Amino acid sequence: MKPDCWLDCRVLVTVGTGGVGKTTVAAALGLAAARAGKSVLVMTIDPARRLADALGTGPLDHEARAVPEERLRAAGVTGEGSLAALMLDTKRTFDELVERFAPDPAARERILANPIYRNLTDALGGSREYSAMEKLRQMHVEGRYDLIVLDTPPATHALDFLDAPRRLAGFLESQFLKVLLHPAAVVGRASLRLFRTGSELVLRALERITGLEFLTSISEFLLAFEEMLGGFSERAREVGLLLRDRACAFVLVTGPDLQQAKSAESFWERLQAEGVQLAGLVLNRAHVWPGAGDAPRPDASEAERAIAWLSGELAARAPELDAPRSARALVDATRAQAALARRDAGVRERLAAALPLEPEAIRTVPLFSEDVHELEALARMAGLILAEPARA
């Protein structure tokens, strides 16, 4: 997919391992879409305050906060374009679900007060991914935005958030849960014996290990959720469909490190297996050669020639400076830059060969000297991702 078509999607999802700059890329894509006149929401998981400062939204939270108009104008947004951001909050997402779908106030209170619920929604694994998907579904259904950019939780090898809806549905439909949900199953050992299923055997064994109380708490929690469970499965399926829709596309974000590139390749395999659409790849924080042409080989004799010439020139023009030392330091720095630029170009070629993307769908964003946290820098990044022709 050509980069200028990325913004025509309804949902763009940035994926990648931790530390590659997904959140920044998501924000830059959002800004680019706003500059193209769209109404955009960026959903992030990263509580980076400087990003919030740059956007001028105040601290990000669970509600969409609009970027003030004067900031948008300064970042080149004209006309209809708008940009809002929110930070995913797992506990709040679950609380809202309970408040909206609990059958009655008593059930609502029971769920909210259940110790398993209180801890599980916030602290235990997997809930972040569920809640990200749930919030995405909500915002999509509300239909207030032309484009939603979703910044996903970092993952190393699996796309947990893609699995989450399906896992949840499987969980809710499992026979095991039905046994667990049956009140008789947990009132005591005597009742347990009434069940002669495999699941019952499993439960009994578990009870020996975890203690009856823990199973009871879990069961109470699940019972309290029972009325809402059908809705959960249904919504999990809806999210699955949305993510596989043609209006939704994924942008892989990677750094130029070989490990990161390998992760990007395995991400691509997973995305392909899931049947979702890959828009393109952003190779972020790449070293680029600042001189003319391609980065030269950083070989030693070449460097010595460069040092000798530079030292002579400096000595002639500024005798007060330590020319030999300055020349050596400068050429060493340049040599290091050339080596990194060559390495990163190699990684780019590797990715281009491994991923079925048109050359222009692989975008290189150079490592900026400073962190990207000003709106101006985001705008610069947006320009690199979407406007300029691809270069190695």
Partner 1 sequence: MLEANETDLLAQLLSRRLLLVTGKGGTGKTSVAAALGRLAAQRGVRTLVVELGHAAVLPDLLGAAPPAAGADALRDPRPAGPNLFTLRLVPEEALLEYLELQLRVRMLARGIVGNAGFKRFLEAAPGWRELITLGKLWHMATRSDAGGAPLWPLIVIDAPATGHGLSLLSTPTVILDTVRLGPLRRNTDLVQALLTDANQTLVLTVTLLEELPVNETLELRARVRELGLGLGPVIANGVEPPLELPDAERVLERVAGLDARAAPSPLADPRALCASARHKLSRAHMHAGFLAKLERETGGLPRVLPWLEGGVDGPDGVGALARELERALSASGGGEAPAARERRA
Residues 11-30 close enough to bind partner 1 by CB under 8 A: 17-20, 23
CA distance 333 to 285: 18
Residues 52-111 close enough to bind partner 1 by CB under 8 A: none
Secondary structure class of 43 (helix, strand, coil) = strand
Query: Residues near 334 by Cβ (< 8 Å), separated by ≥ 6?
Result: 291, 306
Q: Which residue lies nearer to partner 1 by CB, 302 or 360?
A: 302
Range in contact with partner 1 (rule: CB under 8 A) among 34-42, 71-79, 105-113, 300-308: 300-308
Q: Which residue lies nearer to partner 1 by CB, 72 or 338?
A: 338
Q: CA 150, 251, 247 angle in degrees (round to 5)?
A: 70
CA distance 177 to 181: 6
Query: Residues near 222 by Cβ (< 8 Å), separated by ≥ 6?
Result: 177, 180, 181
Are 30 and 72 within 8 A, CB to CB? Answer: no
Are 146 and 33 within 8 A, CB to CB? Answer: yes
Query: Which member of 76, 153, 324, 383 binds partner 1 (CB under 8 A)?
Result: 153
Query: Which member of 293, 319, 353, 389 binds partner 1 (CB under 8 A)?
Result: 293
Q: Which two tokens stand for residue 233?
A: 């499965």
Find the shortest distance in angstroms from Cβ 327 to partner 1.
9
Query: Which member of 211, 230, 231, 359 binds partner 1 (CB under 8 A)?
Result: 211
| Phi–psi pair at 86, nearest 5 degrees | -145, 155
Query: Which member of 170, 183, 188, 231 binds partner 1 (CB under 8 A)?
Result: 170
Residue 365: how many CB atoms within 10 A of its CB?
23
Site string for partner 1, 373-392 (x = CB under 8 A): x-------------------
Please report whether residue 322 would count as binding partner 1 according to CB under 8 A. yes
| Phi–psi pair at 12, nearest 5 degrees | -115, 130
Q: How many residues bind partner 1 (CB under 8 A)?
A: 91
Find the shortest distance in angstroms from Cβ 36 to partner 1.
27
Q: How many helices (H) and strands (E) does the chain have?
A: 18, 8
Q: Where are the beta strands (DSSP E) in 16-161?
A: 39-44, 65-66, 82-87, 147-151
Q: Which residue lies nearer to partner 1 by CB, 128 or 137?
A: 128
Please report whether residue 196 would count as binding partner 1 according to CB under 8 A. no
Range in contact with partner 1 (rule: CB under 8 A) among 66-74, 186-194, 243-251, 334-342: 334-342
Q: Which residue lies nearer to partner 1 by CB, 196 or 208?
A: 208
Please report whether residue 240 would count as binding partner 1 according to CB under 8 A. no
Please report whether residue 188 would count as binding partner 1 according to CB under 8 A. no
Range in contact with partner 1 (rule: CB under 8 A) among 57-65, 75-83, 91-99, 165-173: 165-173
Please report whether residue 354 would count as binding partner 1 according to CB under 8 A. no
Q: CA 308, 295, 290 angle in degrees (round to 5)?
A: 85
How buried is residue 10: exposed, middle or buried, by Cβ count under 10 Å (0-12/13-18/19+)? middle
Please report whether residue 143 would count as binding partner 1 according to CB under 8 A. no
Residues 119-138 close enough to bind partner 1 by CB under 8 A: 119-120, 123-128
Q: Provide the 8-state DSSP code for 361.
A: G
Q: Which residue lies nearer to partner 1 by CB, 78 or 175?
A: 175
Query: Which member of 58, 290, 356, 359 binds partner 1 (CB under 8 A)?
Result: 290
Query: Residues near 307 by Cβ (< 8 Å), separated by ≥ 6?
Result: 324, 327, 328, 331
How far from the centroid of its chain's Cα atoms is residue 41's Cα? 14
Please report whether residue 193 would count as binding partner 1 according to CB under 8 A. no
Q: Which residue lies nearer to partner 1 by CB, 78 or 210?
A: 210
Please report whether residue 321 would count as binding partner 1 according to CB under 8 A. yes
